[in-house]
A and B are shown apart, each in its own frame.
Chain A
């Protein structure tokens, strides 16, 4: 495999997973709304913050666009602005539409590595999103749309699993998916923590956000997990450490590590994986304060960034930035 392709196939896995996870995050927060008491309000800006976006700036721009409101957005307008930013805003680097374009760009670059059936699924996914994400949607439609995004992402993965050559490209794709998933799971936990309370020194309460777990497809296995643990556990323990659940951090690290074994630079990748695993193993999670929990999540996210860098290290070392071939020639 070309050295250059390492980056593209890895990002293909990340973007595909990001699409699925963003859709799930959107649905998870919609569920939170349904669960919330009427006198508590969901903090929409948190959603932007956990995705690393500047919520003040984004909502400020949105407020400026709403006339006669004196720069103050209603809750409904805030929801609309946040959702537009996550779903179809052209200038948003975290939107579903942007992610889909990035997915397609990477797929196009490494087209020879992708089986035809998967290419067609990816293509259908992008067409679907271009057609359906541009319209403003009600909460109910949004739920349907996001469920369809997740479903189609799963179809791409399924087709790939059934047709792709077991090669380094396949390994890198899977590493990309699991690194992204681990990253997103930490972000979803952050929403839970930040939504519940501002970080304090007080020992944290139990998190039982079954609606979020539902959006992650994990509510049943969560019940199974709680029923079979001797200790008093909650959703945080579950999402961080329960290695049998395919969206837990522990599971994602196991999978990324397993897929990395055949790569020439597996040693440096596995080193990063072990460091992350030890972070999880040496914490008495239920004893942490919300502030400590928040800081643990930060550490995990930093570890994921190092892992990402270790995976792409061979490209960074010797790849020149591919020159955009602006001097095009006409072909006969």
Chain B
């Protein structure tokens, strides 16, 4: 599908062989949703694009949009990297994609609720019991707890990639404390300041509904329905790498930003220390990992937790989003079973497929993985942020040998996937538009209702040929434009 216009805006664009480009069709013409940005380049030229990138960088530093890196024990704030070129997706395609994402989250929540109750899915042999019961993400103290609506993972950040045909696939589900949505929102604010003329024709669907939807979802979990809920965002503190997001979301929702020292538990009630004395808390949007939540139940050395919080939650005195124990379903080994999980609970075919995945716990698949390490991407089951990954075709023999030893020592802890030809999008690099690989993280909410963000956070690998999009490892971002093609 290309635009019914002829432009020279992408002439000479150096496609990456075998990869789908998000904005430019093989003919060199822009795809339909990219028509507006292509016309802009035609009219104003590359020089203007460069000027807008400079303006964009200034806007980001004026707005104070940053992320925090740890380096040699120090925290360094970096300006958030945003590329001036947007990533465009037609609304008609996005509707189908978001239906697939909400389908997936519904099934995952039914799965988690089952695991902590009857475990039918294990008894019926859909998922091998030992994979779940031996997982360190399966938290035994959560058994028998019934959170509102049977929902455990209220906020999900699902990573999508496109394959060489342009089809979206799920790369992973993030069900613990997914981050990035604040950057999705700030990217849009920045782009509106930088390209006011492109937003004037209003075919770009707004994204700013998210904080309100998040608030509504959290409020639906309150143990005191009908009354104004007291809600807090629990952060590990200002030195956490996602603190910018924590403070941003608390502000956008108008809720308190609390650290563990601001909370106390008495008689299974959670209370906030305020200037006017203590106030009972109904809902906690926690951005602290499970095992740090409550030192009396999980890691006793946690300095981030609130003693007694777990019991308060288990007795229904306070709602916690995401609920403790949700991480059991975002294990990368469980990921391989999600298509079956969807069929088992919903009786539906998955609307979005998984990336083909080999389980190292399976003897036959492990043999294949060990024999083909130079072709595959190997991921540890429980790491996030892109750490500990081996990208076969870019690895050295030493790295592959180390990985083989690690797999043999602990097969359960690894999965492998074919090296994907991730889609690309034109990205401004040293003054030229060059293809760079990217993924997409939409944010899906489930409480009383289901909601999927409009698009999501597009993360782009800024180094030529790189597949690593994490901002901690040289990744950047793009504003994701869902373009209304239905008018």
A residues with a Cβ closer than 8 A to B are: 1-6, 105, 108-109, 111-114, 119-120, 123-124, 127, 168, 263-264, 314, 318-320, 322-332
Contact = CB atoms under 8 A, between A and B. Distances in A.
Given A3-B262, A3-B273, A332-B385, A327 B240 contact: no
9 contacts: A3-B262, A4-B262, A108-B243, A320-B261, A323-B261, A327-B302, A329-B289, A331-B385, A332-B330
Contacts of B273: 2-4, 318-319
Interface in B268-289: 272-276, 287-289
Contacts of A111: 247-248, 250-251, 257
Interface of B: 61-64, 70, 157, 174, 176-179, 236-243, 247-248, 250-251, 255-262, 272-276, 287-289, 292, 301-304, 330, 384-385, 387
A305 B272 CA distance: 29
Q: Nearest 10 A-B pairs (CB), nearest first?
A: A111-B247, A325-B237, A332-B384, A112-B251, A123-B64, A332-B174, A112-B250, A3-B273, A331-B242, A325-B236
A109 B240 contact: no
B288 A329 contact: yes
B157 to A, nearest CB: 7
Contacts of A3: 262, 273-275
A293 to B, nearest CB: 38
B247 A168 contact: no
Contact of B275 (A6, A105, A123, A325): A6
A119 B304 CA distance: 27
A330 B61 contact: no
Nearest to B385: A330
A108 to B, nearest CB: 6
Given A327-B303, A330-B385, A332-B179, A1 B64 contact: no
A331 B386 CA distance: 11
Given A114-B251, A330-B385, 13 more contacts: A3-B274, A112-B247, A112-B251, A113-B251, A119-B63, A264-B275, A318-B273, A323-B303, A328-B70, A329-B289, A331-B240, A332-B174, A332-B177
Contacts of B237: 322, 324-325
Contacts of B256: 2, 112
A319 B239 contact: no
A113 B275 CA distance: 14
A10 to B, nearest CB: 11
B177 A4 contact: no
Nearest to B157: A332
A108 B247 contact: yes
Given A2-B258, A329-B292, A123 B63 contact: yes
Contacts of A113: 251
B324 to A, nearest CB: 14
A320 B387 CA distance: 35
A318 B238 CA distance: 21
Contact of A4 (B70, B248, B261, B288): B261
B455 to A, nearest CB: 19
Contacts of A323: 260-261, 303
Classify the secondary structure of B's interface with A.
loop
Contacts of A105: 238
Contacts of A318: 273
Nearest to B264: A318
B178 A332 contact: yes
Contacts of B70: 328
A162 B302 CA distance: 42
Given A324-B239, A330-B241, A332-B385, A2 B262 contact: yes
B189 to A, nearest CB: 9
A127 B65 CA distance: 13
B239 A328 contact: yes
Contact of B64 (A2, A119, A320, A331): A119
Nearest to B291: A329
Nearest to B77: A108
Contacts of B62: 120, 123-124, 127
Contacts of B61: 123, 127
Contacts of A123: 61-64
Contacts of B260: 323
Contacts of B301: 327
Contact of B240 (A5, A114, A328): A328
A3 B279 CA distance: 11
A264 B241 contact: no
Contacts of A4: 259, 261-262, 273
Nearest to A122: B64
A189 to B, nearest CB: 34
Given A108-B247, A331-B287, A322 B241 contact: no
A330 B288 CA distance: 9
A84 B142 CA distance: 59
B313 to A, nearest CB: 19
B348 to A, nearest CB: 27
Contacts of A127: 61-62
Contact of B177 (A5, A108, A320, A331): A331
A331 B275 contact: no
A3 B275 CA distance: 4
Contacts of A331: 177-179, 240-242, 287, 384-385
A327 B292 contact: yes
A1 B275 contact: yes
